[in-house]
Structure 1
Amino acid sequence: MRDMMGLMKQAQDMQKKMADMQAQLDTLEFEGSAGGGLVTVVMTAKNVLKSVKIDPSLMVAGEQEILEDLVISACNDARNKAERAVADRMAEVTRGLPIPPGMKLF
């Protein structure tokens, strides 16, 4: 019975930590860049695009495909940074809990 109470307490603590982490992640923004910083984007942890900045030197007629590729690369860079931050924070929250490998909680 004591073990069950301990598990319930751990679950409640983890639930609170998860809610706190979610609230914190909702406020974080991640910058991604491509082309040596010629294109930068800012995204949230939920992959909401907040801003795009493009260096004027990239505004060349007939070079649209290059610019499009750089925007995609910058977005992917920001998304990867956000995913790493979420994974790191999740590892902090679940440290010490007996969670099976590969189980995703977020």
Structure 2
Amino acid sequence: MRDLMGIMKQAQAMQETLAGIQSELETVEVTGASGGGTVRVTMTAKGLVKAVAIDPTLMVADEREILEDLVLAAVNDARGKAEQTAQDRMAELTKGLPLPPGMKLPF
């Protein structure tokens, strides 16, 4: 019976830690870039876009599609960094737990 109580305490502590990490991910910001840094997108680790910065030299009417592609690339770069940040934080939480390989806890 002691083992069950210990497991329940561990689960409760893990749940509290997970809530803290989720809250933290709302404030952690990552920046993705493209075009050698001429387009930058800042978002939270939860995926909320906070800012888009575009170098004024890219504002050429005839090259609108290039600018659109650069914005898209910067958003995807930032999203990848946000996902990696979230995974890193979760790895800290689940370190030492006997979870099956590839199992992801929900965010």
TM superposition score category, shorter chain reference: over 0.9
What CA distance in whole angstroms lies between the structure 2 residues aligned with 1:15 and 1:48?
Answer: 23
CA distance in 1, matches of 2:47, 2:22: 14
Task: Tell me the SS of whatever aligns to 2:42.
Answer: strand
The residue that corresponds to 1:11 in the other structure is 11
What TM-score, normalized to structure 2?
0.93
**2:58 aligned residue:** 58
Correspondence for 1:98: 98
1:104 alignment partner AA: K
Provide structure 1 residue ranges, at least 5 long, that are not aligned to the other structure.
none
**CA–CA distance in structure 2, aligned partners of residues 43 and 19 of structure 1:** 20
- Provide the alpha-carbon RMSD of the alignment: 1.0
Report the secondary structure of 1:43's partner residue. Answer: strand
| Runs (4+) off by over 3 Å | none
SS in 1 for 2:33: strand
Aligned-pair distance for 1:28? 1.1
The two structures have a TM-score, normalised by structure 1, of: 0.94
State the 1:46 CA deviation. Answer: 2.1
Identity %: 63
